[in-house]
Each structure stands twice: as C-alpha cells, then as structure tokens.
C-alpha cells in the first residue's frame, strides 16, 4: 500500500479531502538533496495558497516533521526549537538540525541510510510511537521540574592580550564615565552616553526605552564595547528624558550616571557627546573592561549612599548645613570617580 | 525602532505602469546583452551589483492597505523593492513584517521557497538549514557618522538587534529581531545607497564562529525552546491542536477569486502542474482519533505540576532589583 504523506493539518487545509498532484522526482529534498516524488495541492489556510512538499518522506519521518512546512508533526513547533528542547532534556537526537552535514554528497548518503533503516523499522506501531513520545515528554518535564534546564553555559571573560596604545587610553579617558544627569552648561547638548549593558541587549529595546521620552535622532550602540550614544532630536526632549531617569526611584545619588533598567538589565546613562568607541575588536574589548569596572564602582557607591541616607533619616534633623554637607560630599565623590577613571586608563596603558 | 505605520490609507502606486518600458535594459556592464536572462554577459561579473536600483521603498509613504488580508497574506516583493505598480489593488501586503505574522519555516516572508543550502555568494532567498537574522552589508564608504547612518536607514525596515560596522573592511553586519525583518530589509536595501556615491550589496551573513556570539545564539534558542515547551505543557489545547479542524471560512467565494489572481505573481511555474506523469489522487485526511493526543490525562497533570515547579524555581532565581547592584559587584 502507498505510504501516507507526512503533512501537518494546517498545511492540508480545511477540506476533509484534498486533491493532490504527484510529480515523480519533482523536487529536491531540502535536507538530503535527493530528488523525491513531490506532491502539490491547494491549501487555503495560513499564508500561501499553493502548497507542495519540499522534504522527502524518509527525512520527514526521521525528523518527525511536516513535509511541507517542516514544523514538528505532533506539536506544530519549529524544528530548531524542538531539537533545542530535546537537547536540554538530554535526549539524543541523531537527526537534529545541528547535526546536519554541510556537505552535499554526505547529505545524500545519509539520506539513503535513513531510508534503509526506516524500511526495517516498519514494525514500530502507532502504539509504540506514542509510548516513545510519552517517555520523551516525561523526561523533559522531569528536567524542567528539577531546574536542571537553566542555562548552563556561562560566558568566560576573554582576557585579550596585546598592548594598549596611547591612543586607546586617550579614547577611554575621553569617555564621559564621570558624567551625570545634572543639566549640562552647553544648551546644545542633547546626547546621552549609555553604558553597562551586556552583549545580549537588543538595540531596539534600548531605543524603545528612550523613544518614550521623545524623538531620537540617532542611536549608536557598540555591543562589543558595552557602551554607546543616544542622541535626541531636540534639547527639550533630552531634558525630559534626563529628569525622568533621575526621578525613576533608582537614583538617590545624582552626582553620578543615572541607573535605568532595560530588559531587566542595569544600564547607566549620563549626558555626553559622541566620542569614538574604539576602531577594532581589541580596542572595544578593552573599553568593555573599563565599563565593567566602572559599573562595579558605581554600584558600590550607590550602596554606600543608600547606607548613609538611611542613617541620615534616622537622625531626622534636616538643616541647611547638612544639605550643604551632602552637596560637598557628592562633589567630592564625583571627583573621586573621575580620578579613578584616570587611574583606570593609566592601568590599561601599562 | 520601526515607526508606527499608517495602514488606514490606501497603498500608493510606487511606479506608474505607463512609465515602464519594455526594452528597459539594465545599464551596460558587459559586452553582449543576454535576452533570456535580461543581463549583460561578459565583463566584470561584480559590476551588476555596483549599479544602483532606480526605485527605493519609502515605508512611510508607500505603505497602506491593499486587497491582501492582514495575517493571511504574504508581503509584496515588489513593494519591498519600491516598484509595485498595483498600489491598493495589489494582492499582497504593502507593509513591513510584524512579529505576529504567521510564517512558514520553509518559505521567506514573500512566500519564496528557501533552499537547502545558501548560494555560494550568500545572496538569494536563504537557507532552511538555520534561522538567520543577520545581514552582511558591503560597499560602505566610511565616514565619521557611518554607524549612525547605517542604523538610521536600516531601522526603517525592522527593529535592529545588533549593528556592527567595520569601516576598515567597508562592511557592516546588521542583526534583526525577526528573521522576516532580515528577509525584508535584504530586498529593500540591496543595491541602494546610504549616501551619494556608494552602492550597497546586501547578503546573508555567514554564521558567526566567535564563541561568545555562538553562546548568545545558543542561549536565545534555549530560551525560546523552554518557552515553547512551557506553552505546550501549559495548555491542553495546543497539544491536541494538530487534531483540530479549523473552522471553514465564511467567505469562501472571495477566497477562490484571490487564489486565481494571485497566480500572476506566484513563483511556482504553472506548467509544472500539468506535468505529463502527474496523476490526480484523493488522499483521505486522517481522522482526529488516529492522531489523538500523545498524553493521557494523568500524565498531563504530572507535566503541569513539573512546569509550575519549574516556574517557581525560576521565580526565586530571578533577582529582584534590590540585589541587582550587589550582584553586579560580584562580577
Ligand atoms: Zn530527504
Ligand atoms: Zn505543514
Ligand atoms: Zn504589491
């Protein structure tokens, strides 16, 4: 008897019977490159009206996917996600997308092998298949339950060697790490220095955040250097943004760069005009190191400030003198911060 | 960020059909004109890529409603290149891709079939072998503001995830939020220019072999996979979705009309349908019983419990803001 094609219900469409045309050797299988008997029909759901199979039957069977749209036939999820889930659950899958060979000839040979193996495996009944799938899902659920599926691979900070040139330390020294959200003297300034995000922060998330305060003229995010610039169209929007950030409840210390949370990551923002951010990977990696150090210092400083503030609240006598004192203190702190950056760039020079 | 696009207005004509000339040869880049491929043969093979196209998509002005149904239709390839002459009568969508669009993994957002492998020069529709959201942009002329320039012009067509400009190598790599956005931008920006004298070549980027980049890709896939499995385990509906029949559409007649007309633009050569060896057969679709859910009620309950346990474990793991600062100091 003729084998049933492996096609998911959304590709087949709504009708209870589908009229299909058969084209012997009509398509090249997208997985194994071998020609196979393609089927064409007119589906009417989802996107695309004319449907056809693009994956040969044995490849589809081995991967348990739709011959037309390549989703997993049982769960209707993309293959790469299913394979990633199986991998997380520790289930071996010889046919995963990852393991696919890049070489045309090897692909075809593997395709032949799969077909032979599947012919011998005819004995596997539907009941057995169900049992197998149940096992897989239970395994996966157990893993999920035990929390073993957390991202295991943590980044290793690459310590890139190579000497730092004078120019780079100049570049780093020019970066406004010591800046704050206090109004700058120059009325033309409408640019923010943004730093401290990690490599997986999408640029559009950052622009979305700033766009809530006004129109953006340009965005320049260099992930490798962990910093960048956001320039507003107008000064008034930039002002709005600055005051919104300083009053977002995360910033008690206004003398240093403001803290915001984007994509649940801490990011620092201060006024600052565009400066070069390193010309190559090595330079940018060096800048990133400095950014990491600065983030650490700023966090420590914030923690300190918080401690002081609670003490002050306990004392509960707010006089003008104290205000002045705190002003002095913050000024001093700013100086300290600035000095430490200079020290940092000197470090790198060595 | 992609600006909000006004789709309440009709899509405008991007090209006046009367202005199109039949003998519209591309600028001479070779010795002889091949009438079959509409290309110049001989000469420098890369010269073709260095001529700027006549049209360019202006998302704000060109977008609008067409006869296509949002969510069920594909995006107009001619629109993406700025030269659809059908305007509001087009049967394809005149707007950039959106995250909620239904997509088929074997096709791009214009409905063209992906191939098994990339072309040798990484041009073309793209490959089924991996999800690629990154474009290679060549032919950049380095200036001081090049990063801002690339960013500004590319984010008209999609939300940029990452942008890396290599001025010394005259190229840039742009990653998007969606694969469909990369597909769309590739068509929209290929052989266009950022400034005055440059012509961009936009192709698919090769896999980034940098271990850090690989880790990020892996992390993203894992997060999506966990999300997907949670969703599957979380709802009985999606488990049995493959067994459910969609409700028949109300306006079937209207649909039928669309099918016929869409063939004008369809990429599939029609003659193949009337293939000599073709035979017509009726294939009965499996009844819902034969593909019943793989999981019994009891088993499903067990899975759900596991997921809630997992979610709770995640919750406690998630760092509330208070500890964020200290977390950071631990580096
Ligand atoms: Zn195959
Ligand atoms: Zn399908
Ligand atoms: Zn169109």
Mean pLDDT of B291-309: 49
Cα B88 to middle of ligand 1, angstroms: 41
Decide: B43 and B30 in contact? Cβ < 8 Å: yes
- Inspect the interface and report whether the beta carbons of A70 and B313 lie closer than 8 Å: no
Strand partners, A28: A35
Give the pLDDT score at B246: 37
Mean pLDDT of B74-92: 91
- CA A279, A284, A286, A292 dihedral sign is positive
pLDDT in tens, A28-57: 998 888 999 999 988 765 445 778 899 999
Give the pLDDT score at B3: 57
Mean pLDDT of A65-77: 87
Nearest to A18 among B130, B285, B294 (CB): B285
CA distances from A58 to A31, A122, A329 (A): 10, 12, 74
- Higher-scoring residue by pLDDT: B252, A169: A169
Give per-residue burial for A27-62: e unless 16+ CB within 10 Å, then b.
bbbbbbbbebebbbbebbbbbbbbbbbbbbbbbbbb
3-state secondary structure chain A: CCCCCCCCHHHHCCCCEEEEEEEEEEEECCCCCCEEEEEEEECCCCCCCEEECCCCHHHHHHHCECCCCCEECCCCCEHHHHHHHHHHCCCCCCCCCCCCCCCHHHHHHHHHHHHHHHHHHHHCCHHHHHHHHHHHHHHHHHHHHHCCCCCCCCCCCCCCCCCCCHHHHHHHHHCCCCCCCCCCCCCCCCEEEEECCCCCCCHHHHHHHHHCCCCEEEEEEEHHHCEEEEEECCHHHHHHHHHHHHCCCCCCCCCCCEEEEECCEEEEEEECCCCCCCCCHHHHHHHHHHHHHHHHHHHHHHHHHHHHHHHHHHHCCCCHHHHHHHHHHHHHHHHHHHHHHHHHHHHHHC
CB neighbourhood size of B209 (10 A):
7
pLDDT in tens, B129-186: 888 999 999 988 888 888 888 988 998 899 999 999 988 888 999 999 999 999 999 9
Give A179's pLDDT tier (boundaries 50, 70, 90). Answer: confident
- Inspect the interface and report whether the beta carbons of B159 and A155 lie closer than 8 Å: no
Q: Report the alpha-carbon distance of residue B158 to residue B59 in Å, rounded.
A: 11
- Higher-scoring residue by pLDDT: A186, A332: A186
- Cβ contacts of A327 within 8 Å, gap of 6 or more: none
pLDDT at A63 over 90: no
Give B214's pLDDT tier (boundaries 50, 70, 90). Answer: confident
Q: What is the DSSP letter of B206?
A: P
* Closest-approach residue (CA) in chain B for A223: B162
Q: What is the DSSP letter of B6?
A: -
How many angstroms separate the CA of residue A120 from the nearest CA in chain B? 23
CA angle at B105 for the pair B80 and A206, rounded to the nearest 5°: 65
pLDDT in tens, A288-303: 988 998 888 888 888 8
Chain A residues with CB-CB distance to B245 below 8 A = 9, 14
- Higher-scoring residue by pLDDT: A233, B301: A233
Mean pLDDT of B249-267: 36
Q: Report the alpha-carbon distance of residue B128 to residue B116 in Å, rounded.
A: 5
pTM beyond 0.80, yes or no: no
Task: Return the structure tokens found at A296.
Answer: 């650490």
Decide: B80 and B187 in contact? Cβ < 8 Å: yes
Give B25's pLDDT tier (boundaries 50, 70, 90). Answer: low
- Inspect the interface and report whether the beta carbons of A68 and B226 lie closer than 8 Å: no
**How long is chain A?**
350
Chain B residues with CB-CB distance to A21 below 8 A = 273, 275, 278-280
Q: Report the alpha-carbon distance of residue B184 to residue B188 in Å, rounded.
A: 6
Domains of chain A are: 9-146 (no CATH), 157-325 (3.30.70.330)
Q: Report the alpha-carbon distance of residue B174 to residue B274 in Å, rounded.
A: 43
- CA A277, A278, A280, A286 dihedral sign is negative
- Predicted complex ipTM exceeds 0.85: no
Nearest to B225 among A76, A85, A142 (CB): A85
pLDDT at B280 over 90: no
- Inspect the interface and report whether the beta carbons of B307 and A145 lie closer than 8 Å: yes
Burial-class residue B38 by CB neighbours within 10 Å (0-12, 13-18, 19+): exposed
Q: How many CB pairs under 8 A join A and B?
A: 260
Q: What percent of chain B has pLDDT over 90?
A: 21
Decide: B109 and B97 in contact? Cβ < 8 Å: yes
Give the three-state DSSP class for B153. helix
Q: Which of these ranges, A125-134, A262-271, A338-347, B59-68, has the smallest mean pLDDT?
A: A338-347
Nearest to B303 among A71, A141, A299 (CB): A141
* Closest-approach residue (CA) in chain A for B115: A30
Give A106's pLDDT tier (boundaries 50, 70, 90). Answer: confident
- Inspect the interface and report whether the beta carbons of A137 and B102 lie closer than 8 Å: no
Give the pLDDT score at B266: 36
Give the pLDDT score at B163: 92
Cα A53 to middle of ligand 1, angstroms: 11
Strands (E), chain B: 32-34, 39-41, 134-138, 160-166, 171-176, 201-204, 280-284
Mean pLDDT of A243-251: 83
Q: Report the alpha-carbon distance of residue B72 to residue B65 in Å, rounded.
A: 14
Cα A41 to middle of ligand 1, angstroms: 20
pLDDT at B289 over 50: no
Task: Return the structure tokens found at B10.
Answer: 């009709």
- Higher-scoring residue by pLDDT: A305, A189: A189
Q: Report the alpha-carbon distance of residue B308 to residue A253 in Å, rounded.
A: 40
Give the pLDDT score at A123: 55
Mean pLDDT of B224-233: 79
- Inspect the interface and report whether the beta carbons of B324 and A219 lie closer than 8 Å: no
Give the pLDDT score at B283: 42
- Inspect the interface and report whether the beta carbons of A75 and B255 lie closer than 8 Å: no
Give the three-state DSSP class for B128. coil
Best of A45, A204, A226, A289 to substitute, by most chain B Cβ atoms within 10 angstroms, is A204
């Amino acid at each position: 008897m003729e084998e049933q094609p492996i096609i998911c219900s959304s590709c087949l469409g709504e009708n209870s019977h589908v009229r299909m045309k058969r084209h012997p050797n009509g398509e090249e299988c997208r997985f194994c490159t071998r020609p196979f008997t393609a089927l064409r029909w007119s589906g009417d759901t989802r996107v695309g009206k004319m449907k056809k199979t693009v994956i040969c039957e044995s490849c589809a069977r081995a991967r348990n996917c739709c011959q037309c749209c390549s989703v997993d036939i049982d769960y209707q999820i993309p293959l790469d996600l299913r394979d990633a889930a199986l991998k997380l659950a520790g289930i071996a899958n010889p046919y995963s997308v990852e393991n696919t060979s890049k070489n045309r000839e090897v692909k075809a040979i593997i395709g032949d092998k799969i077909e032979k193996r599947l012919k011998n495996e005819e004995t596997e009944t539907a009941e057995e298949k169900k049992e197998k799938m149940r096992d897989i899902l239970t395994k996966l659920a157990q893993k999920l339950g035990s929390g073993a599926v957390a991202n295991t691979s943590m980044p290793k900070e690459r310590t890139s060697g190579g000497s730092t040139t004078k120019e780079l330390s100049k570049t780093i020294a020019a970066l406004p790490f010591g800046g704050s959200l206090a109004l700058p003297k120059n009325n033309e300034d409408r640019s923010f220095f943004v730093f401290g995000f990690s490599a997986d922060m999408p640029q559009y998330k950052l622009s979305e955040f700033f766009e809530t305060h006004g129109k953006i003229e340009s965005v320049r995010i260099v992930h490798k250097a962990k910093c960048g610039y956001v320039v507003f169209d107008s000064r008034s929007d930039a002002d709005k943004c600055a005051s919104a950030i300083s009053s977002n409840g995360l910033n008690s210390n206004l003398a240093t760069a403001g803290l915001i949370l984007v994509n649940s990551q801490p990011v620092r923002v201060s006024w600052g005009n565009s400066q070069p951010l390193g010309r190559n990977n090595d330079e940018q990696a060096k800048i990133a190191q400095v950014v990491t150090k600065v983030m650490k210092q700023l966090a420590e400083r914030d923690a300190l400030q918080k401690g002081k503030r609670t003490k002050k609240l306990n004392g509960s006598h707010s006089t003008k003198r104290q205000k002045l004192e705190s002003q002095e203190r913050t000024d001093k702190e700013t100086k300290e911060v600035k000095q430490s950056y200079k020290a940092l760039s000197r470090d790198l020079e060595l | 960020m992609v600006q909000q696009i006004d789709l309440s207005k009709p899509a405008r004509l991007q090209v006046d059909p009367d202005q199109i000339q039949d003998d519209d040869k591309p600028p001479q880049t070779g010795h002889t004109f091949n009438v079959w491929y509409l290309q110049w043969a001989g000469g420098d093979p890369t010269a073709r890529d260095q001529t700027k196209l006549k049209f360019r998509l202006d998302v704000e002005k060109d977008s609008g409603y067409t006869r296509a149904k949002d969510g069920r239709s594909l995006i107009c390839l001619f629109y993406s290149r700025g030269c659809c002459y059908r305007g509001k009568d087009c049967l394809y969508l005149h707007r950039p891709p959106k995250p909620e669009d239904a997509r088929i993994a074997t096709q791009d957002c214009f409905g063209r079939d992906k191939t098994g492998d990339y072309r040798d020069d990484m041009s073309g529709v793209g490959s089924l072998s991996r999800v690629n959201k990154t474009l290679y942009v060549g032919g950049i002329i380095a200036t001081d503001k090049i990063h801002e320039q690339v960013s500004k012009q590319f984010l008209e067509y999609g939300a940029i995830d990452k942008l890396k400009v290599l001025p010394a190598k005259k190229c840039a790599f742009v990653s998007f939020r969606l694969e469909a956005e990369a597909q769309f931008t590739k068509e929209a920006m290929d052989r266009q220019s950022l400034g005055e004298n440059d012509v961009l070549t936009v192709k698919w980027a090769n896999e980034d072999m940098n271990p850090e980049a690989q880790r990020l890709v892996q992390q993203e896939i894992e997060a999506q996979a966990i999300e997907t499995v949670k969703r599957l385990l979380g709802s009985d509906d999606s488990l049995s979705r493959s067994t459910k029949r969609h409700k028949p559409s109300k306006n079937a007649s209207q649909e039928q009309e669309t099918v016929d007309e869409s063939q004008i633009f369809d990429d599939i050569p029609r003659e193949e349908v009337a293939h000599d060896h073709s035979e017509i057969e009726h294939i009965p679709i499996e009844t819902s019983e034969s593909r019943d859910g793989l999981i019994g009620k009891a088993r499903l309950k067990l899975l759900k419990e596991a997921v809630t346990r997992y979610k709770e474990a995640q919750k406690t793991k998630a760092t509330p803001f208070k500890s964020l600062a200290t977390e950071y100091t631990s580096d």
